[in-house]
Structure 1
């Protein structure tokens, strides 16, 4: 039995969760686990479970909760709960509690940290932090419980995270850490050590203006909120950054054997100067033995864990910005200052639009959209950023700099040195070269895009069919980017199908608003395309009362953009919206609340806020507390969000009054079929997966292929629509890289997706693979399947088949071949009656290998399948033996005049209409 406190309270017995009953029972068990092997008095338990006033039956309720805990414990005596005056004693092996393991790893990591053994320190601290699945005991604390023990746990986590980041900075991994550290500083803006580490990382990457901006932002927060100045160490670090102090240099480190560590091989063209003072950043280098290897600390001589390189291919857009200097104008210092201003503008706009700034090559700056996280609108983001930069530079830089922009979209292969890296170490493919060719034909001040980008923008292709152009004459001020088509929401223009119950819930809450004259908040959650916007639009269309509709922009908007958009949707609200956008978040939210209260005084009002998962954390705080802060007025606030909101805020809405969460489930197959044109085969319906947007995209594709007499049947060749593929890829990219890697490994198993099989493919311990699969289940990517053997780890299946298709296609062909071979090796260790699993992998190996190798691979596969047939027959598994025999027969050589056997025995892989080189999971 194992107990997990670092996240929602969870008890596992033989890998399966143990039911824990109600809130009191869970809280009592959690408090006893926090004080394991220590007597906890009944009065302490009562104070832990209830704030004032304590119910008169509290002691009896504690006894009932303890009795429930005892029933959940194993009968073998390995874990016992004894009644010991003046309370209770939970006897349990500390190693069975994840919090104990966390503290042990942190202690060992900090010992390595003090010994300046940076590699083992970073590894152990990362291992400790990976145990956290969310806020500690999130399901208990959502009721308002606040225990000092949980606060100490959270503070220990943050301190360990800072130690880990400092150790990794000492290893030279500043490029990979910037994304993670920026997010952490956004969540904890007043933590001085964390801000200092981010300043250090930015400076080492040659981004001095951004490092100073972090300091100025922290100084403003401390002065405005607490009346304090930053610590002397941070002030000294600011001065050293301004003066480019030579003591901040990070020497290059030698790694034996040419290992590609972040400290040994920084990205080409990136600045390698900058390390912090000892009080803020780590010392220059870790200790080494004579061979150049990092010396372990006192952690028992554990070997340094090998990095896990990751490669993935995805659709991305590359924006190139080239500058041409008029050497007649200005002196060298003026040109240098202007180029620095250009670099600052590009960095700020890339951050605003979600792009990744890569190294500068000569006069060309590159920004990649799609890595490390892709979005369904990456081409639009790239073009909008180009025009935003163009507009900001129109009055100054362009006086003597000719700035050209080019955007190309296509498939890019990314390589990560390790799965914990925040950004890829290398990007390759033809897309950057295509963007360079576009630059050669772009006038100064112009933006030129490839045909794929133009199609995403709804623009016609160029005369040569290869590119379209968006041009602006030099010096012309552009007030807005070009119009971008918005993909239609699922089901618009068609009847709302399968959502009657959800509509009734919304109408029922609205009835409560009218009857009680109190504000209510409804959150509509669901995966992309499930029909959240369509449901809310149908609900709002039938209301006689005013409806304000605001949408959180996917990029480029301010913190209050959704609230301002809602005000803008009412007549005469444009001026109020503009004024609101200029205010800080808290002040703007207060003005917005007053405006809504005034409107609701005249009668019921409904407010719809779309895509709240994109909103910044400060705005989420304001929205979540709306029902507590608003006056007693008839106001209904409906927000829509994707599951990412739950990942960001596990306790969203918990403990607030008049708050309802509505989760939209997939439609049944018969209802989803109504959204398709003509008859639909079961294969296509399974790909749609009950998602209305998926069905709409396939229906749209069928109309585009009307001349091919497409009848709604899926034959294995019909492509996944491009918009749908981008939507699913963006959802996959919400996962951390380790979970993405495991998700892709899981795609190699058609039947019987098991943790031990995934572990064999990924090279992970089985326990780690099982934990990552459980995380994917919690995030609705996988569903658990019952197993016949209760001692075996549960199996899984993909919740959405299209997720499996898209995730598999993101692996390079060489990796797919290697993983199929790893799967074959793992299946060889299974009992003979499971040898039928080999058939799928051998067929895929024959398909994936080059033509000149496929005959040799087919011969090897045939021999292996015949051997598997003999093993299965000897074990009495005659059905498995027959399957292996048929597969071997299909792979036999045939006369030249005959058709290739594998063309008849296996469908060709799915191919995308706009990218025939992509071969996805078949």
Structure 2
């Protein structure tokens, strides 16, 4: 027996259709097939069949329809419809349903798509699409309520078509596709990815005017219907068509049916583009490549803006360099060829390569090019995480465990992990990963690898501290490595415990949460609260305080930073009850939609006993599937008293700009920085004003600086060569936040750190970054929307002015620029200030002081002398223009530099045990670390 849902409902037994009853019986069977293997309550069936008002005999009508379905099913037990409280359970082989076969083919086709195997990808996707005979359950949907499951199926069909078109475009089949794509675009005029693909096909078919007409029609549809403009990728494609950019064409010599080069890869199941990846990392956090971007087709891709012809849309290449903390994992193999044939060795090495790639992807690492018998995995590039050393150690343990279980005995494996600063160079700011890496970390890892025993793991002391390993380095190990104890399987993930003590300065936020819980209890309706805040602002501590004072049951679920399932937080919340382990395992075993439905039913049952509070932490790590479920909870849950509190970082707003919009009973609460008088309570001594400024009202920052002052920080402090020291954990935390930005915006943010804390404007940042003022202004505006910048009142020229919102953010971003590039940027800034009116000549002071600080001791004296003369000339120019205050500032700075006082050290710097500063003319200037 086979069941067909993708079109009118059909049941076929032994090649002949099975007669079905009226619309109610067909609707009940269709709904049960959509939830096969899951208990469907009678109430759900009633709501699925009838709009309000529900007939008074609805329950009896459902029972009659169920009886009719049972009569239509075979008596051999292959398909059974059982009564299971609180409704019915349809048991059958999922492969008998065409919707299941469609999803299977779709997954296989997308796997080929990701591997850039265009021919099998197109073939499998066409097979999946061919299963559709019309709208899903076309003979049922007109008579029942709108079913979200059918909307999901239809969206999957459209996405499969777009994937198929994209794969076939890579095979040079643009002429054959134009008619089909045009017809679909007429039906779905607002799908940007589809329109981008159609534009590309028309352009390659020599129909440039029609390609531009498609763009204009899409723009009218978006503006008239939604008040929006097409996305930047489509705007860039229109510009490239107008310019007849050769990179839009097929690669030279490509014949139809042959692959043309890299295509946009689909997002990994579950993050950050996060739009579809967690499952995107936790697509947001789990990818082994760069954070996903959008292709001209509106699709997340591994290579930014890379076109099917192998080129890239947009402007000419702009190299980018950045200096960040990273962890390097090296795996060395030694083959004892005497114990295996060459074929066996090759198969075993392939198996090992696959294991390394899978574990790297699971923990967010990127596999680099193999060097001889050494396979490197990089954690921290292209995107860093605050726990990269721990991820590397966990990946090493997982690789070792899988190798011990599955790889032949004649293959010896040694593993090493080292952590430190790495300088990465990108050929272009749209490249997904660095083309070149420099630094001592790979060499340190190689030294550790040389002293690792067969089957052993050695890590450097920095990695050991960051990963929480307490073993000491053996005295006879010249590399100073720390051994990782043997174990079977990866270490389980354990969340960082909440900070001890009550929250400081959060009384108002607690009152809001308590008030919303009271509303839930009074109205007997679910409510969703999203608590947003930057890392360390106190979200988890606030939740701990709130949960401790909540009457009734509290379920707490956490989104793991890596290697988690799609609905792990939901299962984790259920597991937090003493009797919830079995239900949690059931939710984890079920398919995604069925698991979410089972979780909602379980929550509704629990809430029948009284108000229920559910806390879902770190939702910014969640994948698209989980975000969709959480955002719709107030719509999908029954009318029960449930308060759902989700905590997240601002990245959630970047991924979901309209999070919660249009949903009923949804509230967003943003935690602001604490005032200085409350931050002082977290510091161990009377706080220096400069230290309070650095802390910026963030409790986590205050605690890390307090630990550093007490000497408990371990990997203590580092910062810009000319800036304040930053405790290691904070540096990792803030660097991970910076890496949530696309590389072009990261580059603009670092360029902005060239200017003083008081502020900067687009014209100046453009001058130091070789960008146009318009391009820079757009990037600065994007950074302001994402809470990296704050807009200040206009400066003396009347132009909009910005400042970096958080002092520590400025320090970490500034430290990521190589010293030579910082010097070059200050020189460009000096040239730009020279074009400004004379009353702004005092802007030179900041840049000349830092030029002296950044130069090596051999050159600092000459730099100070040149700065002295330049500032005196600026003083004369300002005085002649009547800008006496600016002239006085230039004069004071010139005399300070002449005496060797480039920049005084903060009064609290001694608390971090900084090494002695180098000197110019006998006075401290800076220390290059």
TM-score band w.r.t. shorter chain: 0.5 to 0.7
| Aligned 8 A contact 2:448 2:481 in 1 | no
Q: Which ranges in structure 1 are unaligned for 5 or more consecutive residues? A: 1-98, 118-123, 138-145, 190-201, 206-217, 219-260, 264-274, 276-280, 287-293, 297-303, 711-715, 895-899
The 2-side partners of 1:786 and 1:384 are apart by 48
SS class of match (1:503): helix
SS class of match (2:726): coil
The 2-side partners of 1:342 and 1:381 are apart by 19
The within-5 A match list for 1:81-160 is 147=225
The equivalent position to 2:641 in structure 1, one of 605, 617, 634, is 634
The 2-side partners of 1:403 and 1:623 are apart by 43
| Aligned 8 A contact 1:311 1:415 in 2 | yes
> Deviations for 1:846-891, whole angstroms, at most 9, x for unmatched residues?
1211222222222221221111111011111122212212222223
The equivalent of 2:610 in structure 1 is: 603
SS class of match (1:317): strand
The equivalent of 1:508 in structure 2 is: 515
What TM-score do the two structures reach when normalised by structure 1?
0.67
The 1-side partners of 2:906 and 2:604 are apart by 64
SS class of match (1:445): coil
User: Is residue 464 of structure 2 the alignment partner of residue 386 of structure 1?
Assistant: no
The equivalent of 1:624 in structure 2 is: 631
The equivalent position to 2:549 in structure 1, one of 529, 542, 546, is 542
User: Is residue 317 of structure 2 the alignment partner of residue 307 of structure 1?
Assistant: yes
The 2-side partners of 1:358 and 1:437 are apart by 19
The 2-side partners of 1:396 and 1:704 are apart by 45
How far is the alpha carbon of 1:704 from its aligned partner? Answer: 2.0
User: Is residue 437 of structure 2 the alignment partner of residue 396 of structure 1?
Assistant: no
Q: 1:184 to 1:642 in 2, by over 3 A?
A: closer
Q: 1:620 to 1:834 in 2, by over 3 A?
A: same
Q: 1:389 to 1:104 in 2, by over 3 A?
A: closer
How far is the alpha carbon of 1:421 from its aligned partner? Answer: 1.1
User: Is residue 449 of structure 2 the alignment partner of residue 439 of structure 1?
Assistant: yes
The equivalent of 2:364 in structure 1 is: 354
The 2-side partners of 1:517 and 1:842 are apart by 65
User: Is residue 331 of structure 2 the alignment partner of residue 324 of structure 1?
Assistant: no
The within-5 A match list for 1:832-847 is 832-847=838-853
User: Is residue 773 of structure 2 the alignment partner of residue 766 of structure 1?
Assistant: yes
The 2-side partners of 1:310 and 1:566 are apart by 43
The equivalent of 1:421 in structure 2 is: 431
| Aligned 8 A contact 1:406 1:436 in 2 | yes
The equivalent of 1:469 in structure 2 is: 482
**Coordinate RMSD, CA, aligned:** 4.5
The 2-side partners of 1:877 and 1:162 are apart by 48
| Aligned 8 A contact 1:865 1:884 in 2 | yes
Q: 1:382 to 1:706 in 2, by over 3 A?
A: closer
Q: 1:112 to 1:436 in 2, by over 3 A?
A: farther
SS class of match (2:412): strand
User: Is residue 753 of structure 2 the alignment partner of residue 747 of structure 1?
Assistant: yes
| Aligned 8 A contact 1:408 1:432 in 2 | yes
Q: 1:837 to 1:148 in 2, by over 3 A?
A: closer
| Aligned 8 A contact 2:275 2:655 in 1 | no
> Deviations for 1:386-427, whole angstroms, at most 9, x for unmatched residues?
112222222221422112211100000000011111111111
The 2-side partners of 1:660 and 1:162 are apart by 43
SS class of match (2:766): helix
The equivalent of 1:82 in structure 2 is: none
The equivalent of 1:518 in structure 2 is: 525
User: Is residue 810 of structure 2 the alignment partner of residue 804 of structure 1?
Assistant: yes
Q: 1:448 to 1:836 in 2, by over 3 A?
A: same
The 2-side partners of 1:868 and 1:159 are apart by 46
SS class of match (1:891): helix
The equivalent position to 2:666 in structure 1, one of 637, 643, 659, is 659
How far is the alpha carbon of 1:902 from its aligned partner? Answer: 3.7
| Aligned 8 A contact 1:449 1:470 in 2 | yes
How far is the alpha carbon of 1:735 from its aligned partner? Answer: 0.6
The equivalent position to 1:733 in structure 2, one of 734, 739, 744, is 739
The 2-side partners of 1:706 and 1:409 are apart by 16
Q: 1:524 to 1:726 in 2, by over 3 A?
A: same
SS class of match (1:424): coil
> Deviations for 1:446-469, whole angstroms, at most 9, x for unmatched residues?
111100000112223313496443
| Aligned 8 A contact 2:333 2:411 in 1 | yes
| Aligned 8 A contact 1:176 1:421 in 2 | no
| Aligned 8 A contact 1:523 1:660 in 2 | yes
Q: 1:545 to 1:165 in 2, by over 3 A?
A: farther
Q: 1:571 to 1:184 in 2, by over 3 A?
A: closer
| Aligned 8 A contact 1:417 1:424 in 2 | yes
How far is the alpha carbon of 1:680 from its aligned partner? Answer: 1.0
- Greater mean alpha carbon deviation, residues 535-544 or residues 817-826: 535-544
How far is the alpha carbon of 1:574 from its aligned partner? Answer: 2.2
How far is the alpha carbon of 1:185 from its aligned partner? Answer: 8.8
The 2-side partners of 1:777 and 1:576 are apart by 44
| Aligned 8 A contact 1:165 1:177 in 2 | no
Q: 1:148 to 1:613 in 2, by over 3 A?
A: closer
> Deviations for 1:370-392, whole angstroms, at most 9, x for unmatched residues?
11111110000011111122222
- Greater mean alpha carbon deviation, residues 812-821 or residues 461-470: 461-470
The 2-side partners of 1:157 and 1:116 are apart by 18
| Aligned 8 A contact 1:177 1:422 in 2 | no
The 2-side partners of 1:640 and 1:328 are apart by 57
- Greater mean alpha carbon deviation, residues 404-413 or residues 106-115: 106-115
SS class of match (2:385): coil
The 2-side partners of 1:113 and 1:645 are apart by 38
The equivalent of 1:703 in structure 2 is: 710
The 2-side partners of 1:659 and 1:904 are apart by 50
The equivalent of 1:688 in structure 2 is: 695
How far is the alpha carbon of 1:147 from its aligned partner? Answer: 3.3
| Aligned 8 A contact 2:850 2:902 in 1 | no
The 2-side partners of 1:576 and 1:801 are apart by 46
> Deviations for 1:665-720, whole angstroms, at most 9, x for unmatched residues?
1111211222212211221111111111111111222222799xx9xxxxx98732
| Aligned 8 A contact 2:753 2:813 in 1 | yes
How far is the alpha carbon of 1:572 from its aligned partner? Answer: 2.6
Q: 1:616 to 1:389 in 2, by over 3 A?
A: same
The equivalent of 1:781 in structure 2 is: 788
How far is the alpha carbon of 1:494 from its aligned partner? Answer: 2.5
The 2-side partners of 1:793 and 1:176 are apart by 42
SS class of match (2:501): coil
The equivalent of 2:91 in structure 1 is: none
Q: 1:818 to 1:328 in 2, by over 3 A?
A: same
What TM-score do the two structures reach when normalised by structure 2?
0.67
> Deviations for 1:718-756, whole angstroms, at most 9, x for unmatched residues?
732111111111111111111111111111111341110
The equivalent of 2:503 in structure 1 is: 496
How far is the alpha carbon of 1:788 from its aligned partner? Answer: 5.4
The equivalent of 1:570 in structure 2 is: 577
The equivalent of 1:673 in structure 2 is: 680
Count of residue pairs the alignment pairs up: 686
The equivalent of 1:532 in structure 2 is: 539
SS class of match (2:405): coil
How far is the alpha carbon of 1:793 from its aligned partner? Answer: 3.0
The 2-side partners of 1:479 and 1:614 are apart by 24
SS class of match (1:674): helix
How far is the alpha carbon of 1:501 from its aligned partner? Answer: 1.1
The 2-side partners of 1:165 and 1:802 are apart by 44
